[in-house]
Structure 1
Amino acid sequence: MNRWQLLDTKAHSQAGWQKFTHYAFASQDVYCPILMAELTQTLPYYSLAFLPVSSTEPVKFQLVALLGLRPNRNVYLDKHGKWLAPYVPSYFRGYPFSLLPDEHGKAALAVDITSPLLHNPAQPGDTLLYQENGELTEAAGQILNFLTQRLQNQQVTQVLTDALQQADLIQPWTISWQPNSNDADPEKAKKQQNLGGFYQIDEERLRSLSPETYQSLAKNSALGLAYAQLFSQARLQDLRYREHRALSDAQPTPSLDFDALFGTKDDTLKFNF
């Protein structure tokens, strides 16, 4: 489990980190937040859903991508931690860093102190967090900028999601799939499995919106988000396929160098999705 700690010029003055070379840290994530800015990149590879993030009324929802249908198993990773889709959601590309509110409520850079990528003091080959004058190094500053841009677009995404909720367009979604015969539990292999807890756009209600509401949602781009979620449901078949491959311990091996083809190498800190 991650333990986030705000960076401190005293506590981390000698600290450094290594850039991750795999995504094993995401191996148990079965969903992740998605931003409006990366919709066009995620739609070819991921099913999108809404996840409730508050228990009080009115319930707030977060836009997420589905990464697995079983607990604690991200099927977009192989056993070596290699991501098996050309596009890696931006949520994972700032690790081991994140943003947390400081004592004044301002977003500040934080680090996962449980990560093996972080060393305090720094080890040979590490990238330092701080300069001698107490300012962030250029590399750390780039991470802060990347995460700040993510936060800004996250706020935009939330406003649009809230608009869909206010229009009463978000409804419960039960996702069904059937494990193949290689499932470790023979009984489960025969039965259809249902995954609950996620939400989708109510397509029928979307079609019956009043002209005023429809125009309002179209004007602020919330309508585009609604249709994106509906279109992304076509990727469920691919997700089920990945689950079957994972159950049989057979990892898909791309015949092309997708990193080179789609230009995703070395894009950890880029926000131009």
Structure 2
Amino acid sequence: MEQNQLQPVSFARHKNWRWKRFTSYRFATQKTQSRIVMTEASEIAAAFPIIFQETDLGIEPKALFSLQKKAPNPFVTTDGRWLASYVPAELRCPPFQLARTEYSSHDRHHNVQLLVDETSALLTTQPEDEPFFSDNDELSQNLQDVLRFCSHGPQTTKRRSMLVVDWRRWGYSKPLATTAASNCPPARWQSRRIDWMH
């Protein structure tokens, strides 16, 4: 399978590009986890286990689909249907993703950059599909909507990172070696209410 080739969306590179909304979740067949937007936390918690993962930009809550990295996502059928009761917001953004820069003390959130997977079959040059840019050379309204939707998670990373650090300090997490008779990745943590992994 060809690897994703994520590139920053720019007028110089993508002025004539178009995209179409996906109709299948086959792109998620190898995903074992997904980022969480804080506004969807209750829906995520009702459908999946939640873990916390330490990254260079902070601590992120994620929906866990599987502990087996090479196994197919159990929530995606062979014909691309999604089986769980809820679809995480991150899986509703393809073929776009966000890259997060360092936390800005000036505007109090992470700066974000819109990326596109240039290997995606959702990219076209057909006039009936959605343009990347409008006639006045600005990001199209539909793509602005995608950027706004996908930006909710990165903008809250700093706040939730501070909260999870407090949870660790208060002793709510502990090392976890196995769960449900499965070996866990190294440095995974479990608490009464949350899981922690880095």
Give the shorter-chain TM-score range. Answer: 0.7 to 0.9
Shift of 1:158: 2.4
Give the residue type in structure 2 aligned to 1:154. T
Tell me the residue number matched to 2:92. 93
Partner of 1:78: 77
- Structure with bigger helix share is 1
1:115 is aligned, of 102, 111, 120, to 120
Partner Cα distance (2:111, 2:53) in 1: 26
Query: 1:20, 1:117 within 8 Å by CA — same for their partners in 2?
Result: yes
Structure 1 gaps, min length 5:
55-59, 178-191, 204-226, 231-273
User: In the alignment, which residue of structure 2 is the partner of 1:32?
Assistant: 34
**Equivalent residue for 2:5?**
3
| Structure 2 counterpart of 1:44 | 46
- Cα deviation code 1:38-65 (max 9, x no counterpart): 12101221111223335xxxxx643222
Shift of 1:17: 0.6
CA distance in 2, matches of 1:13, 1:125: 15
Q: Which residue of structure 2 aligns with residue 65 of structure 1?
A: 63
CA contact (8 A) 2:89 2:150 kept: no
Higher strand proportion, which one? 2
Which residue of 2 is the match for residue 166 of structure 1?
169
Structure with bigger gyration radius: 1
- C-alpha distance in 1, partners of 2:112/2:54? 23
C-alpha spacing 1:43/1:106, structure 2 compared with 1 (3 Å): closer
Distance 2:121 2:80 in 1: 15
Q: Does the 8 Å contact 2:36/2:153 carry over to 1?
A: no
> 1:152 and 1:126, CA in 2 relative to 1: closer, same or farther beyond 3 A?
same
Structure 1 residues 52 and 153: alpha-carbon distance in aligned structure 2, compared to 1, 3 A threshold: closer
| Unaligned ranges ≥5, structure 2 | 102-109
Match of 1:131 in 2: 134
The one-letter amino acid paired with 1:110 is L
| Partner deviation per Cα, 1:117-157 (whole Å, 9 max, x = no partner) | 123xx224311010121111110110111122232133333
Q: How many residues align?
A: 183
Verify the 8 A CA contact 2:97 2:115 in the aligned structure 1: yes
Q: Contact 2:28/2:73 (CA < 8 Å) preserved in 1?
A: yes
**Deviation at residue 32 of structure 1 after TM alignment:** 1.6
